[in-house]
Structure formats: structure tokens, C-alpha cells
Amino acid sequence: MHRHKPVKAQNKFIKRGTTMIKLNFKNPIRLVLVFFVLVFAFSCTGKSDNNAGLNSSAEPTDIVKPEITNPPRQGEAVELTLGTDFNDSAKGIAICDDGGVLLAGKTQTKEKGPYEAYLVRLDKNNTVLWNKIYGQGDEDGVFAVTQTRDKGFVAAGQTTSAMTKDVNAYVIKTDSQGNLLWQKSFGGSDKEDAHSLIELADGNLLFSGYTYSKGEGGDAYIVKISSKGDMIWEKNYGSESREDLFSVKELPNGHIVGIGIGGKNNDIYAIELDARGNLVQEKYIGDEYMEQGNDIEIAPAGGYFICGFKATNSTNYVYMYIAKLNKNFEKEWDKIYPGESFSVAFGAVAEKDGSFTISGTTKNWGKIQNDDGILFNVSAQGETNWEEIFGDEDIEYINSLEKDAQGYYYMTGYVVHASGPRESTYDINYVKYKHQGE
């Protein structure tokens, strides 16, 4: 295995086999990871706000008890651990027109050094074609990515300047080979971030996240820009508490729907806008305990499917959460999937048959004892059809999910090594999977 000295905008990538190390919840590394995933939700303010009357009714949530016990693989899978000499992680994934994928995340170029935005291109045979780093600040990362109609790529995330202390949303545009065409930052004098990015039907781009420069307590932030990166409009939404949007989708009528977290109770925050960014509807979905929406999908039969996580009153555990909403963001049904202490859904795909496929990370799903990636499918009513576990004895997180026309699912995230020469370091986790019968 060769290691390359990191050079900006040049290849610095190593593909390595996964090393599996058993790690339990008492290990401090795991505690740090749980904090990292949930830090946003627990840092939300508790100010009184204008949410009165907006929360949906808190009816009992169905609890699904998984039965799987490390079953044989139900389809064909490729699982890769990809990384450099230092820490690497990915959150965004885009399917490319040639059957390959592009991963978006961040990487370190020196030990304990700052992070830089990172793109990794793989072909349909899972071979790395190129990988490059980008940045205009002292610390940068990209968390969402899409291939544009000109065959290039756009990625969005965050950039930080150590000198000015500015923290802004960050967008980069590259050609098909990863060569930088433009990079721009968006925001005000405080702090902004971009979590989700889409190319619109009109050829423009839209990203969502949060802003502290506008509103009170931090607001949801949506910006529409041209294909050249010029701002068309930017708007903020929310209450006196903090709101954030982790996923946005465009509807056939040009409206935008988004999902995230917000309000004084840290509830799921759902929003619909018209094509000009004017608020059509918003709703806080939840009860007195914390809920967060990480992805929203347009349901084939109408309405929306959402996934994320939910805390309960009986424990301090976080459970995987899925729900079906009607067009007015009212719950038709919802379910939680309990792992041991930690279980989060990050991505979803709406299937042609009306079912939904969900990816995430869980501990002790059925009798799976370790923190692993998971992919599972539920019917239009939320009944589990199949499950698949990815990983072994390391900590594996899956942060995103896409599916192509040939039936392959693509997932990415990161792996944490617990011992050995790379103890406590991160590598990119990449999974390609096709379920039997697809």
C-alpha cells in the first residue's frame, strides 16, 4: 500500500481493507461520536417561541422490534474503507451518469491539522478515478453534492476563516474531472452552514442549512443561486428558537419542501415554500422529547416520507424514527426502531412500488452487537420487508443514501478505528449494494 503526500487539488487517496475492532459504548471514542451526531439538537435554545398550535398531535408511536440475527447476505455488496494518512469522512454522495459515484466530505492534510473540503470520484467498478481537496478558508468541508446537467459537480458545506472568525455556507463548482470552476461563500457576520443541495428544474441551484446572522436564535436558511454561483434569493425561516434544515426536495409544481429540527422542544421541523421562497406552510412535529428529521422523500401515492431519530421518556437513548406525512405535514403513521442506546436514520429512497428504503447507523439491531451501518425497506404502511447490516466490529456510520436505475444502492459515511496503528482515526466508509430480486 502506497501513501501519497497530500497536495491541494491532486490525488491523495489510499484504498485500504477494513480492520474490525470491537468497541463498546463505555469507550470514550464512542461517547465523542454520539455527542458529535447529536450536538446540534442538544445545543438548541430553550427560549419561548411562536410554536403554539403548530405541533402535530403526539399519538403513541409504534415500536418495531427487529428479529434479524446476522443473517446471510440477501444481495450483492461491495464494502470499502477509503482514506489517507489522516482523518477522512464523507457525508454526501451523487450518482454519476457513467454509473460511478462522487463522494463529498472533508479530509486532513496533516496530523491534528484543519480539515479541507474533499471530493472522491469512483467508477462503476469501484475504482478511484480522482480525488481532490478544495478550500478558501482555514477549515472547509462539503456535506452535499450533485452532478449537474453539464456533467460537472456542485458541492455545498461550510468554510471558516481563522483570521476573521467568519463561518459561512460554502459552495464549489467543478468540471467532470474535479477541476475547480468557482467557489463562493454565503452568509452574514455570524455563522451559516449548508447541509443539503439540489439542482432545480430551471437549471439553478438551491441549498439549505442554518443561519445565525438572521432571525432570532438561529433560523433555517435557504439560498437559491444560479449555475454560476450568483445569488438569486436567500431567506430565513423559523421561530425564536433554533431551526435547521437537513434535506430539501423540489416538487413537480416548483415548490420546495424541507425537513430538519427546530422549536423550543427540538421537534422535527417541516417546511414548504413556493418557487420564490415564500412560506407556504411549516409545522413542528413531535412531543416534549427530542426529534430530528434527516431526510424527506416525496411519496409515490402523495404526501411525504421522513426519517431521522427520536428520544424517549424512559431512557436517554436515541432511536431510529420514520414517518409518513400527508401533504399538510400531518402524520399518517410513524414508527421507531430501537437499537441499544443509539440508532439514527440518515437517508431514504422512495421506491416505485410505494415502499421506502432507509439507511442509517444502529447498535444492537436484533442481535447485532456493534455500531454498524444498516439498510432496510418498509412497506407503504411502515411494515418491515427486509434488512441488511454492513460492518463488523469497528464503528461504522452511514450518512447518506442514493439509488440508481439498475437497482443499486449507494451509501457513504465514515469508519472509526479503535486500536492499532490508526487508533481513533477516521476513514471513509463506502457501500454499494443490490438487493436480491431488484
Q: What is the pLDDT of residues 182-226, one digit of tens each?
A: 999 999 889 999 999 999 999 999 999 999 998 888 999 999 999
| Cβ-contact 132, 9 below 8 angstroms | yes
Of 35-44, 68-77, 283-292, 305-314, which range is least confident?
Answer: 35-44
Q: What is the average pLDDT across 25-36?
A: 35
Higher pLDDT, 19 or 420: 420
pLDDT at 52: 31
For CA atoms 425, 128, 295, 76, give the dihedral sign: negative
The β-bridge partners of 426 are: 416
Q: What is the average pLDDT across 8-22?
A: 35
pLDDT at 177: 97
DSSP class of residue 315?
-
Closest CA to 121 of 107, 102, 106, 104: 102
| Cβ-contact 308, 268 below 8 angstroms | yes
- Residue whose cell numbers read 486532513: 108
Residue 148: burial class (beta carbons within 10 Å; 0-12, 13-18, 19+): middle
Higher pLDDT, 427 or 55: 427
pLDDT at 74: 79
pLDDT at 166: 86
Write the DSSP assignment of 235-273 as a string of letters: EEE--SS--EEEEEEE-TTS-EEEEEEETTTTEEEEEEE
* Residue 254 burial (CB count, 10 A): 13
* Span 104-161, pLDDT tens digits: 999 998 888 899 999 999 999 999 999 999 998 889 999 999 999 999 999 999 999 8
Higher pLDDT, 184 or 419: 184
| Cβ-contact 119, 107 below 8 angstroms | no
HSE-CB for 162 with a 13 A CA cutoff: 7
* Span 242-270, pLDDT tens digits: 999 999 999 999 999 999 999 998 999 99
Closest CA to 144 of 249, 298, 7, 252: 249
CA distance 376 to 357: 6
Higher pLDDT, 419 or 158: 158
Using the predicted structure, report yes or no on whether residue 378 has a pLDDT greater than 80: yes
Q: Residue 139 corresponds to which amino acid?
A: E
| Cβ-contact 16, 427 below 8 angstroms | yes
Domains and CATH numbers, the chain: 14-435 (2.130.10.10)
Q: What is the average pLDDT across 365-377?
A: 73
pLDDT at 215: 82
Residues of the chain with pLDDT > 70, as a percent, come to: 78
pLDDT tier at 40, thresholds 50, 70, 90: very low
Q: What is the mean pLDDT of the chain?
A: 83
pLDDT at 165: 78
Overall pTM > 0.75: yes
pLDDT at 418: 67
End-to-end CA distance of the chain: 35
SS3 33: helix
* Span 269-306, pLDDT tens digits: 999 999 999 999 999 999 888 999 999 999 999 999 99
Higher pLDDT, 394 or 184: 184
Q: What is the average pLDDT across 322-327?
A: 97
